[in-house]
Chains A and B, each alone.
Chain A
Amino acid sequence: MSGSVRSVPGAFPYGGSLQSAADTVAEGPDPLAVPWSRPAASSRGWSAGRVSVVTVAALLLAWWLAAALALVSPVFLPSPLAVAAKFVKVATDGYVDATLWHHLAASFGRVTFALLASALVGIPVGLAIGASPIGRGIFDPLLEFLRPIPPLAYLPLVIIWFGIGEASKVLVIAIAMLAPIALSTAAGVRGVAQERINAARTLGASRRQVILHVILPSALPQVLTGLRIALGAGWTTLVAAELIAATEGLGFMIQSAAQFLVTDVVIMGIFVIAGIAFAFEFLLRWLELRYVPWAGRM
């Protein structure tokens, strides 16, 4: 029996790791801990989190030393303080006709909008792939075709078809997000315990109700995982999307700065993108704990 292990009274094989994830959040986000690292107990006190902190500190120190001793020209490697100062300056005065917040808001809006559009298409497609052989027959080859193509490759085609407006930028990001959402949803749907479906059917649920009230909520943990992976792909694609005649956005800011060798803005922009992607990651982790607290326990 496949389900027999799960029904042992009181035994939640994954409860431990979920508990530690909850603890991490409860203690407040450690800005330097990577969100996917699990604080593992170690006899010598060298937990993965602590090693991460030391590694980041060492890299920052090396960067600072290289800049302070002028080992590299400041044109190529400005000091950490210069980058921090640039952050404040761009935040207040702006760069290429827009403040950092304008750039950030533009990029944030594109990624968020792309995520919504992509979820709106990807979740039903994933449902179709996971729940019906016809759906799988239709969408699986399309997604497998789309998945490995780098965004820069389909960017020109998107411009030819949809022009250089905002829609094209969002579309490029959304295409990159589609496969992770759909494939993860499909995996979640395929993984629904048959007994849950059978139970619902003998309780009088119609096929439509089974999808709505059993399959979708059962797949929710994997849907959220898909959204998380998609966001990663989305931020990765942002710079490519903002190659299209943008006038603001973090990717655009980095590119224009690079053209004039304003390296401190480039580095600052990279950090801002990393910071936002990181914040999104934490938001989704929080959503998982809040809305699918059963994940891994049943």
Chain B
Amino acid sequence: MSQLRLDGITVRYEGQPAPAVAHTDLTVSTGEFVVLTGRSGCGKTTLLSVAAGLLAPTFGTVRLDGREAPEPGSDRAMVFQDDALFPWLTVAENVAFALRMRGASKSERRQRAVEMLRRVRLEDAADKHVWELSGGMRQRVGLARALAADPRFLLMDEPLGALDALTRERMQGLLLDIWSSSGTGVLMVTHGIEEALILATRVWVMAPGPGRIVRTFETDFGRRVVGGEPILSVKGDPAFQEMRVALAEAIYAGEPA
């Protein structure tokens, strides 16, 4: 089991009076699905970038299994809201990007790409250009590309934020499916309250000014979906609705109406 651990993270952007994130600790283990949520400007994405190694914190440390891990790498592959695919590569070449960086052979790359595309149910699109795909398909390619790197942790910055409601629901099922079968740890940023609850094993609520974690919710709704219960039935559970209200209150607590 691997552990990604952020200790005492403070991030101060130049020219800003309040730090974007202050004295924040956060731990994700493989097998966990941790969701970061909160109002705009609360530092969710900043914290995610620190976890990925893309942003050096002003204070604090990032450790991967006890080892300080300042440089970004494929052990913490990232999925972005704007899919950030490479348009000069085909779908399969995009998916195999991490393997190409490692110097894997062409046949190995192809095989792995097709395998990953099958997991996101896009095997027919392997030789397409990425601009031929819909937003939902592009996001699945982005997911397959991160998975192909065989990461211990999958970091996702509002991966479903730009999708329409229907595609979004389908993608939630797919994310749960992939998370449970791959055994990676997930750290995901989202604005969606239902989305946070249906996916997460733990939800961290952040508040702005300065950005910090203010509450934690432990949930098992995602595990129930993985266990075979239909998403709609889980979302209809009174316990789900109750936690939904509590989470919304936690997110908007202290905000002037």
Name A's B-contacting residues (CB within 8 A): 1, 3-4, 6-10, 12, 193, 195-196, 198-206, 209, 213-214, 217-218, 220, 292-294, 297-298
User: Whole-angstrom distance from the CB of B161 to the nearest CB of chain A?
Assistant: 8
User: Is the beta-carbon distance between A12 and B131 smaller than 8 angstroms?
Assistant: yes
- Chain B neighbourhood of A9, CB < 8 A: 134-136, 138, 162-164, 167
User: Whole-angstrom distance from the CB of B58 to the nearest CB of chain A?
Assistant: 19
B77 to A, closest residue via Cβ: A202
A292–B86 alpha-carbon span in the complex (Å):
12
Contact of B217 with A by CB under 8 A: no
A-contacting residues, B51-86, CB 8 Å: 52-54, 72-74, 76-78, 80-86
A-B contacts, 15 of them at CB < 8 A, read A4-B162, A196-B84, A198-B78, A199-B142, A202-B52, A202-B73, A202-B74, A203-B74, A204-B73, A204-B149, A205-B97, A213-B100, A214-B86, A217-B86, A298-B131
User: Whole-angstrom distance from the CB of B109 to the nearest CB of chain A?
Assistant: 13
User: Is the beta-carbon distance between B84 and A195 smaller than 8 angstroms?
Assistant: yes
- Chain B neighbourhood of A203, CB < 8 A: 74, 77, 97-98, 101, 145-146, 149
User: Whole-angstrom distance from the CB of A217 to the nearest CB of chain B?
Assistant: 4
Contact of B130 with A by CB under 8 A: yes
B82 to A, closest residue via Cβ: A3
| 0/1 interface trace, chain B 105-142, chain A, CB 8 Å (1 if under) | 00000000000000000000000011100111010001
User: Is the beta-carbon distance between A294 and B136 smaller than 8 angstroms?
Assistant: no
Cβ-closest 7 pairs across A and B: A9-B135, A294-B87, A3-B82, A204-B74, A202-B78, A195-B84, A203-B98
A220 to B, closest residue via Cβ: B88
User: Is the beta-carbon distance between B162 and A8 smaller than 8 angstroms?
Assistant: yes
User: Is the beta-carbon distance between B84 and A10 smaller than 8 angstroms?
Assistant: no
A193–B129 alpha-carbon span in the complex (Å):
19
A293 to B, closest residue via Cβ: B129
Q: Knowing A4-B162, A10-B135, A297-B87 are in contact, say whether A202-B82 is a contact too (CB < 8 A).
A: no
Contact of B155 with A by CB under 8 A: yes
User: Is the beta-carbon distance between A193 and B88 smaller than 8 angstroms?
Assistant: no
User: Is the beta-carbon distance between A199 and B80 smaller than 8 angstroms?
Assistant: yes
| 0/1 interface trace, chain B 158-178, chain A, CB 8 Å (1 if under) | 000011100100000000000
A205–B100 alpha-carbon span in the complex (Å):
9
Q: Knowing A10-B135, A297-B131 are in contact, say whether A205-B101 is a contact too (CB < 8 A).
A: yes
User: Is the beta-carbon distance between B54 and A201 smaller than 8 angstroms?
Assistant: yes
- Chain B neighbourhood of A199, CB < 8 A: 78, 80, 84, 142, 145
- Chain B neighbourhood of A213, CB < 8 A: 86, 97, 100-101
- Chain A neighbourhood of B54, CB < 8 A: 198, 201-202
User: Whole-angstrom distance from the CB of A211 to the nearest CB of chain B?
Assistant: 13
- Chain B neighbourhood of A10, CB < 8 A: 134-135
- Chain A neighbourhood of B146, CB < 8 A: 202-203
User: Is the beta-carbon distance between B82 and A195 smaller than 8 angstroms?
Assistant: yes
- Chain B neighbourhood of A218, CB < 8 A: 86, 88
